[in-house]
Structure 1
Amino acid sequence: MHELSFVTWLIHISSVIEWIFAILVINKISTYKKYNLFFWLSLAMVPNLIGAMCAITWHMYDNQENLYGLVSLQGIFTFIGNSTLALAAIIIFKGKETYE
């Protein structure tokens, strides 16, 4: 774990906690206020969270060569997550619900 500075670790961990909190809040809003399309936004955020956890796990084990597959997984999950977030944004934009 000594490959990254304390501040970098703080940013990594706080970003993951923030991402988890955002997923939970958006999911709660989708059920509480009946904004059903926002459920898909919270679901679309999960692959990015998995990608972030892959990156943190790799750094936690000092960037070992035998765990380099986590870097590939992180890239794949980031691509999937960005794609699903774009799709969720399009679905919300084209949705018939009003948010007033």
Structure 2
Amino acid sequence: MTLLSIPTWMIHIASVTEWIIAIWLVWTYSEVSNKNYWKFLSVAMLPSLASASCACLWHFFDNSPSLDWLVTIQAALTLLGNSTLCLAGRHIFLNSQAIDKENSGSSELT
């Protein structure tokens, strides 16, 4: 654990912790607002969390060459995470548009 400075470790740990909290907050928002389509976002955030965990694990073992495979897994998880986040954004957009159309249609009838 000597390659990274203490402030850098603090940032790494804080970032992972913030991501966990963000996942929990999005999930909670979906339940409180009764917008279950937001849950897809919290699930879509998991590959990025796993990617960050791979990076922290690799750094924890001083970037050991025997763990170079973690870098490959981290890259794959980053790609997967970016893709799932994009899909989650699209999912939220389409669902919120559909709800807006339903609400505007019902208000015209009354």
TM-score category (smaller protein): over 0.9
> What do you get for the CA RMSD once the two structures are aligned?
0.8
Q: CA deviation at 1:14?
A: 0.0
The percent identity for this pair of structures is 45
Task: State the alpha-carbon separation in 2 of the partners of residues 65 and 57 from structure 1.
Answer: 13
Q: What residue in structure 2 maps to residue 46 of structure 1? A: 46
Q: What aligned pairs does 1:60-79 form with structure 2 within 5 A after superposition?
A: 60-79=60-79
Supply the distance in 1 between the matched residues of 2:63 and 2:11 (Cα, whole angstroms).
18
C-alpha displacement of 1:19: 0.1
Deviation larger for 27-36 or 45-54: 27-36
SS in 2 for 1:59: helix
Q: Which residue of 2 aligns with 1:33?
A: 33
- Check the 8 A contact 1:26/1:42 in 2, yes or no: yes
Larger radius of gyration: 2
The letter for the 2-side match of 1:2 is T
- Could you give the per-residue CA deviations for residues 17-72 of structure 1, whole angstroms, max 9, x where no partner exists? 00000000100111121111110000000000000000000000000011110000
Structure 1 or 2: larger helix share?
2
Structure 1: gaps spanning 5 or more residues:
none
1:72-91 deviation digits (Å, cap 9, x = unpaired): 00000000000000000011
Distance of 1:97 and 1:88 partners within structure 2: 16
Q: TM-score, normalised by structure 2?
A: 0.86
Rounded to whole Å, the distance in 1 between the matches of 2:86 and 2:99 is 18
**Ranges in structure 2 where 5+ consecutive residues have no aligned partner:** 101-110
State the number of aligned residues: 98
| Equivalent residues of 1:35, 1:97 under 8 A apart | no
